[in-house]
Amino acid sequence: MQPHTTSQLATPALLVDLDALNGNLRTMSLRHNGAKLRPHTKAHKCTQLANLQLQYGHKTFTCATPREIIGMAAAGVGEDLLLANEVVDRDRLNSLAKVSEKVRVTVAVDSNATIIAAASAGLRDVLIDVNVGLKRCGVAPQLAGQLADFARKQKITVRGVMGYEGHLMMIDSRDKRKLGVAESMRLLAQAATDVGGEIISAGGTGTFDLHDETCINELQAGSYALMDTHYAKLGLPFAQSCFVLGTVISTSQDWLVVDVGLKSLGMDHGNPTVDGFEVLFCSDEHTTLVPSKESASTKVSVGDKLRVVPAHIDPTMAMHELAYLVRGDEIIDSWSIDLRGW
């Protein structure tokens, strides 16, 4: 039977509040309209959600995996797709080259080896990935121009630069975050001058409103659409729109258990939250809760449903095959999480 209300769902089940989602997309599009935002699909891994972002005027997208690029192209969503990740696997790069015959595909590179791999596959557009402080991928800013020269010798178009200030996203103080962004973008601006090209791409949900005076001309942000408890700490103007629905499967005098655990939640940013309860711990299939002081008198029975808010939305989405679009407890639609995996 097709479920019509959340009470009819087998759990754990992924819910997306449609009104909150649209509110988030509207808020971001008013701040960064059109090509000023290159939404990051890694946060939701869903072509139907990406298509909704397209309806808000965004025709360029950021992807984290070849699978996301291929899936977006197959769904006909977006006209300019960026793989903001280094890839050297020949088969995957060959697949991206085939996709690039239908839609513009640009890949991030930060070494001669990644450039050669892209060129050998027939890919012709790259961004020079610059290290702006996060100890992850990216060439040193002072070497970016040299790398761009090497790429052009391989008959590759260097479209510009990208950098990700991910090490700054969760600094509590907005002023300190802003100072850090200014310093990171100073490094990216230096590299952009040496590299050339039309794109200077950076940013994320945590710094979405801190780039008014920086060098970038497109913002990469993804979590803003669905949100999680990690980003909620920053007081951003985005509502929580994604939940994992669980069923209370056991109760005792002092605690209760829902059937949402490590296999349905991204846990690298800590425990999830549940309104009215404190989380004691999560295990493979379970989350153990105790009522908060404010809700100590609330009666909860086996079979009741509770909404669990994930701490990290990106890996949470990767654990589910389907998202149910809801308005209150009414199920409006369901979307496949079709961009999961590499």
Q: At what angle do helices 144-153 and 112-121 cross, to 10 degrees?
A: 30
Average of per-residue pLDDT across 191-209: 98
Residue 2 is predicted with a pLDDT of 84
The percentage of the chain sitting over the pLDDT mark of 90, rounded to a whole number, equals 96
Give the chain's length. Answer: 342
The percentage of the chain sitting over the pLDDT mark of 70, rounded to a whole number, equals 99
**pLDDT at residue 80 greater than cutoff 90:** yes
Task: Compute the distance between CA of residue 248 and CA of residue 130 in angstroms, rounded to an integer.
Answer: 47
Residue 312 is predicted with a pLDDT of 98
**pLDDT tens digits along 211-268:** 999 999 999 999 999 999 999 999 999 999 999 999 999 999 999 999 999 999 999 9
Tracing tokens 């690029």 back to the chain, one arrives at 69
Task: Compute the distance between CA of residue 22 and CA of residue 52 in angstroms, rounded to an integer.
Answer: 8
**pLDDT at residue 202 greater than cutoff 90:** yes
Average of per-residue pLDDT across 321-337: 98
Residue 86 is predicted with a pLDDT of 98
**pLDDT at residue 308 greater than cutoff 70:** yes
Residue 298 is predicted with a pLDDT of 75
Q: What 3 state SS string does 66-94 have?
A: HHHHHHHHHHCCCCEEEECCCCCCHHHHH
**pLDDT tens digits along 263-307:** 999 999 999 999 999 999 999 999 999 999 877 667 899 999 999
44 near 50, Cβ under 8 Å? yes
Residue 1 is predicted with a pLDDT of 63
Task: Compute the distance between CA of residue 335 and CA of residue 165 in angstroms, rounded to an integer.
Answer: 31
Closest C-alpha among 103, 84, 74 to residue 41: 84
Average of per-residue pLDDT across 191-207: 98
Counting other chains too, the contacts that 280-283 makes at CB distance below 8 Å and 24 or more residues apart are 280/255
14 near 323, Cβ under 8 Å? yes
Residue 296 is predicted with a pLDDT of 65
Q: How far is Cα of residue 313 from the mean position of the Cα atoms in its chain?
A: 7
178 near 189, Cβ under 8 Å? no
Distances (CA, A) of 319 to 199, 257, 333: 33, 20, 19
Residue type, 8: Q
Residue 299 is predicted with a pLDDT of 85
Average of per-residue pLDDT across 171-199: 97
Average of per-residue pLDDT across 123-137: 97
Residue 77 is predicted with a pLDDT of 98
Which residues in 77-108 are b (16+ Cβ under 10 Å) and which e?
A: bbebbbbbbbbeeeebbebbbebbeebbbbbb
341 near 70, Cβ under 8 Å? no
Residue 294 is predicted with a pLDDT of 78
Report the chain's C-alpha Rg in angstroms. Answer: 21
Residue 89 is predicted with a pLDDT of 96
Task: Compute the distance between CA of residue 113 and CA of residue 282 in angstroms, rounded to an integer.
Answer: 42
Task: Compute the distance between CA of residue 201 and CA of residue 199 in angstroms, rounded to an integer.
Answer: 6
Closest C-alpha among 330, 335, 278, 283 to residue 308: 278
Angle value at C-alpha 326, between 323 and 327, nearest 5 degrees: 165
Strand ranges, E, within the chain: 13-17, 60-63, 80-83, 104-109, 125-130, 157-163, 199-202, 218-219, 242-251, 256-258, 273-274, 277-282, 287-291, 305-309, 322-327, 330-336
- Mean pLDDT (the chain) is 97
**pLDDT: which is higher, 294 or 40:** 40
Residue 342 is predicted with a pLDDT of 83
Closest C-alpha among 17, 2, 69, 22 to residue 41: 69
Please name each of the domains of the chain with its CATH number. Answer: 6-14+237-336 (2.40.37.20), 33-220 (3.20.20.10)
Average of per-residue pLDDT across 83-89: 97
Phi, psi of 145 (to 5 degrees): -65, -40
